[in-house]
Structure 1
Amino acid sequence: MRMNEQTARDAEVARIHVEEEIQGMIDNLDKSNETIDKYLQEYQEFASELPLEKKIELISDLVKYQEHYTKVHKFQSQQRKPMTKKQKREYYMAVIKSNLGWRFKDFKDLLKQLDRDDLNQLWALVKEYLSIRRTSSDKEMELWVELKKMYEPDPEDQLWT
């Protein structure tokens, strides 16, 4: 019996809360309708006084504003979303390319024009420069020795035959 009384009280409390919420929503709608009626009445009074040219001008201004607003809204919504890895990569590559004046197409063309003889000449110039220049530290000397070993022609290796 007590359980039924508790359930009935809970149902009554829930009904009261729902009624209050519904009444609040109705009041808000009434206020909104009053505001709309007020502005509609003001608009009709204002519109009846305007000449046709001014109405057309105001409508065109409104259209421009709406177009501008949609662009701004789109931009702002894009700014709120974090960029994906692909978007970040594309963005930073564009920044690098524009800042350095570097063109990827030019780099590809450069690679196509290079041939083995040019690379061998370039390597000979590097070796000549490094043999003339004094090493500044023991570590640099060790690296130079390692480089010489790495690029020394090996008669047994097929690359050099």
Structure 2
Amino acid sequence: MIQFNLNGKDVSVDAEADMPLLWVLRDLLDMTGTKYGCGMALCGACTVHVDGQAQRSCTMPVSQVAKKQVKTIEGLGVDASHPVQQAWAQHDVPQCGYCQAGQIMSAVALLEKNPKPTDSDIDEFMQGNICRCGTYPRIKAAIKTAAGKMGEGS
């Protein structure tokens, strides 16, 4: 049994130590917001937070999160009230939507680390998240809007 905290709740899973965290989340814990993209940690669709850091869950063995805090897109809130989620909607970021959970989780990690990112900060931090639909200008605008909202304390 591997124990960790998922979105604020302690969980135990009966999984092989080398099973990717992505599959534990999706198949064993029914957290399907985290998506499979490439399986090689290159596209960012599977991004979650582990102890507050953006991590790719498709290649991370579940054993690496034992006794750690894991947050998925579901952990931001089911009512889409997080400032990044609100900014995403305001700027009509998603098209197909497939990469959006990973994009949002990366954006949240960026803003928690750097509450006032410049354009180059955003470009650098988000470069590992691929959007097939090419909504990068809207993603950047949404991150700037969310930074302003988070700076206001909302």
TM-score, length-scaled by structure 1: 0.14
More strand by share: 2
Does 1 or 2 have the higher relative contact order (CA < 8 Å, sep 6+)? 2
Structure exhibiting the larger radius of gyration computed from Cα positions: 1
More helix by share: 1
TM-score, length-scaled by structure 2: 0.15
